[in-house]
Structure 1
Amino acid sequence: MINTIRRHYPEYLMEAAGLGIFMVAAAVITAAVVHPSSPISQIDPLLQRSLIGIGMGLTAISLIYSPWGKQSGAHYNPAVTLTFLHLGKVKPKDAFCYVIAQLLGGSLGILIAAKLLGNVLSHPSVDYIVTIPGTQGAIIAFFAELVISFGLMMTVLTVSNTARLARWTGLFAGALVATYIIIEAPLSGMSMNPARTIASAIPANNWTAIWVYLTAPILGMFLASEIYVRIKEQQAVCCAKLHHQNHKRCIFRCGFKAQKLSDQLPDI
């Protein structure tokens, strides 16, 4: 384990930093839209979610295509990492370190946001951007999280393993993040990410239906991976990176190296 950490710690730090930045952006954007002192806090809730969704979708895209995202693979989510572990693309030691890094990075990000925003972040309208079930309850939230997590992973696997589309995986993922926030957020708060939910739950001390956010994203992504490999076969999954068309090192069990697919596509 020590040797693995020494060799791969840059990727672990990049994962932590990526989710941390995402959490800061989520806090700032959400506060700017929904806090009562904001001039746009009284607009239609759908328009509010649209503004937040567009902002977070662009944030996700920027992180995926950033130099750090290109190197770490831009998981930023334990459910994503564990799914690629299940698919045999991530080694167990790396998966363990990625999950720890994501948990620490997300928590650090929300603490930084709290320092930046002060009482704004703790205001009930923002409440540390916690993800909790909507008015229809935890069971609906569970199935909603299951469906959107399934959709994200199926999209990532399909696009990233299609040579002519692979370099656009980050755009597809970011578009789904935006769409889900706009459409699905009223049902579950739109998490898809256990580390993201835990990071907000700690300072808010709000663990409402936490089981939903610890189980549904992982189950949904696992289900997508199982269906994908049954249709395409295990060898169809080339790598655990969301963006591989670059010259950054890859620490995963990477099929692109053997197939040289990355050489066929320009770096973006």
Structure 2
Amino acid sequence: MALVASLQSALRRHWPYYLTEALGVAVFLACTSVSSVLIHHPDLPLRAWLGESELLRRGVLAGVVVLVVAGLTYSPWGQRSGAHINPAVTLAFWHLGSLRGADAFWYVLAQCAGGVAAGPLLSRALQRWYPHPDVNFNLTVPGPAGAGVALLAEAAISAGLMWVLLYALHTERLRRFAGWLVAALLALYVTFEAPLSGMSLNPARSLGAAVGAGRYEHLWIYWLAPIAAMWLAAVLFQRVYQGAPLACAVLAGCATRPEHGPYATEPPRFPDPAGDQ
């Protein structure tokens, strides 16, 4: 009963944060899906202009990812919720004590709901171009090297991303730029790592695309690898920094949070010491 009461209390007080996380995943999936169609579909002008260089096309998509991630991270709404938009990130922050269990539960549920809601809508809206093999419903699937390589590659990039993020959030001179560092790292991954694993890092994003396509055969990779690798990176980072707590669970860095206006309310974990027990 205490658990149910805690979840109900968190939902009643913090539902705007959860809604923001759901919308963040949906917006990210929508932007990357539309961009993938425009960049990769052979019947569209942008693909003709970019030519047959897959590296160039991935580089252009990487630029889109930078803009979308930075926009979500540094927007007032993104700063309000922390702009996790990723269950693996949320669970790592929860492990580090920057997010209460009830809030972490609703964050992950909302993120998945955002992906599941957006996937079928995008599949319907883009049905003329989405099934083409060069677009492939914007699914994250293993590259030619197979599922084993994809699993290892996905784990490596997930651990690397979490380590960079935590280092930035623990470093005064980098804290304000943490969101940009994450966006830049994602761009590198899209450009150079995507041929190995499809470059997901985000279970909710992969779930949304899989639901839209009705294909789930490789989804386990994109749940297991990011969650396990980011959690392990958080554990190791905590040991290196001897358990030093994060100031907050905001990807943009606490210093970027608005001090006035409708978004001045703090994220769920702080400064609400009374929070859910």
- The TM-score, its normalising length taken from structure 1, stands at 0.91
d(CA) in 2 for partners of 1:111, 1:119? 14
Letter in 2 for 1:88: G
Structure 1 unmatched runs, 5+ = 259-268
Q: Which residue of 1 aligns with 2:26?
A: 20
Greater Cα offset, 230-239 or 83-92? 230-239
Following superposition, the deviation at residue 77 of structure 1 comes to 0.4
1:108-141 CA-partner distances (Å, limit 9, x unpaired): 2233333432321233321220001000011100
Q: Which residue of 2 aligns with 1:198?
A: 207
Does residue 69 of structure 2 align to residue 69 of structure 1?
Answer: no
Does residue 183 of structure 2 align to residue 169 of structure 1?
Answer: no
Letter in 2 for 1:12: Y
Q: Which residue of 2 aligns with 1:53?
A: 62
Q: Which residue of 2 aligns with 1:43?
A: 52
Q: Which residue of 1 aligns with 2:266?
A: 250
Greater Cα offset, 148-157 or 220-229? 220-229
d(CA) in 1 for partners of 2:181, 2:268? 22
Does residue 153 of structure 2 align to residue 147 of structure 1?
Answer: no
Following superposition, the deviation at residue 254 of structure 1 comes to 4.0
Following superposition, the deviation at residue 252 of structure 1 comes to 3.8
Letter in 2 for 1:20: A
CA contact (8 A) 2:123 2:212 kept: no
1:18-45 CA-partner distances (Å, limit 9, x unpaired): 1110010011110001012123434200
User: Would you say how many aligned residue pairs link Structure 1 and Structure 2?
Assistant: 257
SS in 1 for 2:130: helix
Q: Which residue of 2 aligns with 1:110?
A: 119
1:171-190 equivalent positions in 2, closer than 5 A: 171-190=180-199
CA contact (8 A) 1:240 1:254 kept: no
1:37-87 CA-partner distances (Å, limit 9, x unpaired): 123434200001001111112110110001110000000000000111111
CA contact (8 A) 1:239 1:252 kept: no
Does residue 145 of structure 2 align to residue 136 of structure 1?
Answer: yes
Greater Cα offset, 51-60 or 114-123? 114-123
Does residue 135 of structure 2 align to residue 126 of structure 1?
Answer: yes
d(CA) in 2 for partners of 1:110, 1:210? 14
Q: Which residue of 1 aligns with 2:96?
A: 87
d(CA) in 2 for partners of 1:232, 1:131? 34
Following superposition, the deviation at residue 177 of structure 1 comes to 1.0
1:213-239 CA-partner distances (Å, limit 9, x unpaired): 111101111121112111112224222
d(CA) in 2 for partners of 1:184, 1:63? 23
2:248 to 233, 239, 246: 239
Q: Which residue of 1 aligns with 2:12?
A: 6
SS in 1 for 2:44: coil
Following superposition, the deviation at residue 210 of structure 1 comes to 2.1
CA contact (8 A) 1:144 1:187 kept: yes
1:190-211 CA-partner distances (Å, limit 9, x unpaired): 0001111111111212223222
Following superposition, the deviation at residue 4 of structure 1 comes to 1.2
Structure 2 unmatched runs, 5+ = 1-6
d(CA) in 1 for partners of 2:13, 2:158? 31
SS in 1 for 2:141: coil
d(CA) in 2 for partners of 1:133, 1:38? 25
Greater Cα offset, 220-229 or 178-187? 220-229
